[in-house]
Amino acid sequence: MTMMDVAMYYNNHDVRIEQQPIPQISDDELLVKVMASGICGSDVMEWYRIKKAPLVLGHEIAGTVEQVGKHVSKFKKDDRVFVTHHVPCNTCRFCLNDNHALCHTLHSTKFYPGGFAEYLRVPSINVDRGTFLLPEHMSFDEATFIEPLACVVRGFRTAGFTPAQSVLILGSGMAGLLNIKLAKAYGASKIFTTDISEYRLKIAKKMGADVVMNAQENISEIIKEHNDGRLADFVILCAGVPSAVKQALDAIAPGGTLLLFAPTTPKEVIPLDIFDLWNKQIKIVSTYAGAGKDIIDAIDLISSNTITVSDMITHRIPLHDAKKGFSLVADAQESIKVVLYPHQKKK
């Protein structure tokens, strides 16, 4: 039995390199050699992850097809691919109403064992609607951004963003920075962003934010100073903390939209002034994951260089240093995107 290395997650600061058998595939499946795998902010959402530990995480992956089931005709050995872990059924009432993130199938599907492994098995349903050929000029590094960018694309689409709107993004981590880049690409009139980290605010400025603000400042007043006396038309919550939710509601202009991109922890109750929301005619929209259309759009945005992503990678680390990678992301000090390489040997 041939073995492979995996990074087994126990908690944010306990990630162990263990061995598992290389998965065996059926006639309708693929075996993919993982070449690059990004660590997502949700991978270190400990309140969510630790209850399922130990497990192999990782869903922002790119690689090459190693083995092809005999009934698979869409792909061949050595094809360069991106594989999404969750796929919808495309036939339920949620999918048919473009609410793919509510599809029961989407929440029950995944590849095995996870992206922080040398190889993964792609189930037949993921082969059918969750595996995409990479453009020839797209690097594996760039391809690790397809899944997170697809989530951002879906958020903008679901919320009905239109060009020339002013945008406020609360939180300048990985998700916040991708939202900055997409807002700029989609023609936002002005982009404001917040964070408590000066390091992240400097990065946000580099990535295209017009005005960066420490979250402890009076952001509503600063926005009005730089936005002709108006608050923000489109507000994106990328920091799931109660204080950021309050700031979002205070900073939104009449007729504006609040996009809940990041969640708070479960059972977090935040009081709302319903009259104020009604009176200002505020729209509140939530978003989760990305479906096929969003993935295709994300691939096209990266492939065309409409959105550059490689400038967001701060750390490139072999799988054997996965513990260090997780700590970097969990501590959120001076890292933006951390990418693991399962087949790069530790020096």
Do 57 and 176 share a domain, yes or no? Answer: no
Q: What is the per-residue pLDDT for 47?
A: 80
- Please check whether residue 247 is in contact with residue 170, taking contact to mean a CB–CB distance below 8 angstroms: yes
- Whether 296 is in a domain gets the answer no
**CATH number reported for the structural domain that contains residue 316 in this entry:** 3.90.180.10
Do 182 and 115 share a domain, yes or no? Answer: no
Q: What is the per-residue pLDDT for 25?
A: 98
User: Has residue 182 got a pLDDT over 90?
Assistant: yes
Confidence of residue 46 (pLDDT cuts 50, 70, 90): confident
Across 218-226, average pLDDT: 97
Q: What's the domain count of the chain?
A: 2
Do 131 and 158 share a domain, yes or no? Answer: no
Q: pLDDT, tens digit, for every residue of 249-304?
A: 999 999 999 999 998 888 888 889 999 999 999 999 999 999 999 999 999 999 99
Q: pLDDT, tens digit, for every residue of 12-37?
A: 999 999 999 999 999 999 999 999 99
Do 83 and 166 share a domain, yes or no? Answer: no
- Whether 294 is in a domain gets the answer no
312, amino acid identity: M
- Please check whether residue 169 is in contact with residue 224, taking contact to mean a CB–CB distance below 8 angstroms: no
User: Has residue 201 got a pLDDT over 90?
Assistant: yes
User: Has residue 76 got a pLDDT over 90?
Assistant: yes
Closest C-alpha among 127, 83, 132, 125 to residue 108: 125
Across 70-98, average pLDDT: 97
Do 35 and 7 share a domain, yes or no? Answer: yes
Report the chain's mean pLDDT, rounded to a whole number: 95
Do 218 and 105 share a domain, yes or no? Answer: no
- Whether 118 is in a domain gets the answer yes
Do 281 and 156 share a domain, yes or no? Answer: yes
- Alpha carbon distance, N-terminus to C-terminus of the chain: 27
- Please check whether residue 61 is in contact with residue 134, taking contact to mean a CB–CB distance below 8 angstroms: no
Domain that holds residue 108: 3-145+309-341
Confidence of residue 103 (pLDDT cuts 50, 70, 90): very high
Do 161 and 51 share a domain, yes or no? Answer: no
Q: Which of 45-59, 91-105, 249-263 has the lowest mean pLDDT?
A: 45-59
Could you tell me what percent of the chain has a pLDDT over 90? 90
Q: What is the per-residue pLDDT for 346?
A: 65
Q: What is the per-residue pLDDT for 130?
A: 97
- Please check whether residue 6 is in contact with residue 15, taking contact to mean a CB–CB distance below 8 angstroms: no
- Whether 224 is in a domain gets the answer yes
Do 222 and 276 share a domain, yes or no? Answer: yes
- Whether 95 is in a domain gets the answer yes
Closest C-alpha among 309, 305, 312 to residue 337: 312
Give the DSSP per-residue string, 109-172: ---BS-SSBSEEEE-HHHHHHSEEEPPTT--HHHHTTHHHHHHHHHHHHHHT--TT-EEEEE--
User: Has residue 347 got a pLDDT over 70?
Assistant: no
d(CA 69, CA 63): 17
Do 211 and 274 share a domain, yes or no? Answer: yes
Do 62 and 187 share a domain, yes or no? Answer: no
Do 205 and 230 share a domain, yes or no? Answer: yes
Q: pLDDT, tens digit, for every residue of 308-343?
A: 999 999 999 999 999 999 999 998 888 999 999 999
